[in-house]
Amino acid sequence: MTDTVVIEIALRTMVVALKLSAPILVTSLVIGFAISLFQSMTQIQEFTLAFVPKLVGVGVALLVSGNWMLHTLVTFTLDLFEALPSMLG
């Protein structure tokens, strides 16, 4: 296994990790921005006002994109295991 193969595997792993985390992170970012904008306009500073909507939004994002995330991860793992003998030999 050469260093190019290792770098390629690492790059593909990071891309898959980015794709899998994007729906959750984007949802949390958008909800957090909207809540902080609301808090700054109304001058209400309460922690639970920011935490609960994020929690609900991340849960909905997981329900909506969970099947796709699982399929992406399984496909990546199967592709990696299928390519392993050619990488080692």
Q: In the predicted model, is pLDDT for residue 19 greater than 80?
A: yes
Read off the pLDDT of residues 41-83 as tens digits, 9 standing for 90 and up.
988 888 778 889 999 999 999 999 999 999 999 999 999 999 9
Model confidence, pTM: 0.81
Query: Which tokens is 20 given?
Result: 């899998």
- What number of other Cβ atoms are within 10 A of residue 31's Cβ? 19
Residue 20: pLDDT band by 50, 70, 90 thresholds? Answer: very high
Q: In the predicted model, is pLDDT for residue 2 greater than 90?
A: no
